[in-house]
Chain A
């Protein structure tokens, strides 16, 4: 039986283990988490013949570097990104066979924000509440094994390549500019004036640097007409909330489960993967869709 290990020389900017997440604990304040760009992550897993929800490595903006022992396969998927195998540029979006002593260096993610590194075999990673995923705010306590830094070792058993899924064409999240993210009116939509709403859903929103897996912060604003005595209530990935200062935050999978800000709109499910690829500095549009049942 073949096996392999990835030994990280460098962790990159923010490199974490993610799978499809943990469901069933939101009533206890635990977000579902899981890979942000589910489509791309699923594609990476399928390239190696694994179920779409399997654990893999989520890389944000600047990738890690690791040495291989044993033999195994990887697939690096997502928007264009620098990747080198023993110093020579390697291909993305296809399985790569790696052997003892190989060094993979993943550099800058050139457009978009996140790339996904799937690996063959079964990882020796513990779970918390049914998932291996790093859990943002409580990660260092609850899922320390899911944060990849210098010195991290990932052991894999049974690393032979399973038969790859052939129905994988065009399964990456498409990245075009400017992104047009579709949303439907949220519960507090009526707290804003019509003219402000019209403006908000026409303006370009710039992604701020302090965005993370909990939320994308936007450099745009809309001031509520009616602040309402807002009582904390449920929020979900895709909720666009407006802070008291009028600043929008687009919530992602690691966001808290309840919030006290006005929910102006919610991104539709199909466009959440593109939200995961919003990169600091990028400008995009939020388009209002009226909901059809």
Chain B
């Protein structure tokens, strides 16, 4: 069911069926949770992704062989198809302003999907999304899955500057830019919420498996919340 591969001499890769799928992704986070809860000596970090889990280890403390056998056994015992793999997660309501001042790529999305801007917003807020992965940038969350009518392509060449809080679409996912950075997603709105806190304390708003729902807000409320969040 799953494959274990070398990712260098101090990490291994656990590969699930290669598909962006909520059920498979749940298993990734469940396996991650199981591995963490066993507190095995020699494990240094994990990187959960859509349908894979990277495990970093200290070969001085645990060998590739022992660790991979341990993980395979853990998966065999616990990742049964019929089981419920829920881990405790939070549900976040994220306000988004879809005003044209922020929706810089709405025209492209309209062209690619054949939908009007109103329909695009309605579809985007129609679903509760799951945090499938954090990556590409510190704190950048990949949320899925987006209704298939809303799927659109990533930009061929990324923009040099995408504003902090920008909400974008790419394939079956929607994501939020945690800070101003380069990026290639099609931007349809902006949230005033800080998803990555740089000062000490609780730095990351989202963790893997959390649920996210978007709530449309006006430009005026965006401005007010932006000031309040400063």
Contact = CB atoms under 8 A, between A and B. Distances in A.
Given A28-B204, A29-B136, A29-B139, A231 B6 contact: no
A258 B7 CA distance: 12
Contacts, number: 129
B191 interface: no
Contacts of A247: none
A23 B51 CA distance: 23
B179 A269 contact: no
B47 A258 contact: yes
B136 A256 contact: yes
The range of chain A's interface size is 35 or more
B219 interface: no
A258 B20 contact: no
Interface stretch (A65-73, A134-142, A165-173): A134-142
A239 interface: yes
A34 B199 CA distance: 20
Given A26-B46, A258-B135, A266-B6, A128 B198 contact: yes
B203 A28 contact: yes
Interface of A: 23-30, 32, 128-129, 135, 137-138, 141-142, 184-187, 229, 231-236, 238-239, 256-259, 263, 266-270, 291, 293
Contacts of B137: 29, 137-138, 256
B45 A30 contact: no
Contacts of B56: 26, 236
A234 B54 contact: yes
Interface in B15-38: 15, 18-20, 32
A278 to B, nearest CB: 17
A101 to B, nearest CB: 37
16 contacts: A26-B47, A27-B47, A29-B140, A30-B138, A184-B6, A187-B13, A231-B18, A233-B49, A233-B54, A234-B13, A234-B49, A234-B52, A257-B47, A266-B7, A269-B9, A293-B64
